[in-house]
């Protein structure tokens, strides 16, 4: 089984879509759909029904899931989304930035 390239809590950068270049924290990974929910990225307007809590109804901005292929792991050293490779760290397999060698998962 392959290990997901991106997991919850990672910081990723969007590389496509209206938010290309933005980065944020992964809130949720939806493996079945190959999508991720990224904090503050790919916001969509969502209309609220009128309820007791929100008697006016209204519109809120909420993250929409985006395709895994449209995000890259954000490297704090390169300051951008990067491709990653795998490396062995003792017993563990870790992800490393292909550009600068920054070790994720450490
Ligand atoms: Zn890097």
CA distance 78 to 83: 11
pLDDT tens for each residue of 10-67: 999 999 988 999 999 999 999 899 999 999 999 999 888 888 888 888 888 999 999 9
**What is the whole-number distance in angstroms between the Cα of residue 103 and the centre of ligand 1?**
9
Who's near 79: CB < 8 A, 6+ residues apart? Answer: none
C-beta of residue 68 within 8 angstroms of C-beta of residue 32: no
The total of other beta-carbon atoms located within 10 Å of residue 91's CB is 5
The residue that leads in pLDDT, 4 or 19, is 19
pLDDT of 2 > 80? The answer is no
**What is the whole-number distance in angstroms between the Cα of residue 21 and the centre of ligand 1?**
15
**What is the whole-number distance in angstroms between the Cα of residue 64 and the centre of ligand 1?**
27
Domains detected in the chain = 11-50+58-97 (2.30.30.30)
CA distance 1 to 25: 25
């Amino acid at each position: 089984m392959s290990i997901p390239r991106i997991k919850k809590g990672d910081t990723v950068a969007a590389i496509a879509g209206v938010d290309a270049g933005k980065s944020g924290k992964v809130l949720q990974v939806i493996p079945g759909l190959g999508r991720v929910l990224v904090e503050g990225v790919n916001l969509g307007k969502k209309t609220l029904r009128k309820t007791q809590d929100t008697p006016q109804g209204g519109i809120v901005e909420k993250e929409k899931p985006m395709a895994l292929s449209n995000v890259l792991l954000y490297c704090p050293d390169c300051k951008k989304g990067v491709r990653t490779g795998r490396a062995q760290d003792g017993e563990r397999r870790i992800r490393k930035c292909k550009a600068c060698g920054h070790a994720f998962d450490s």
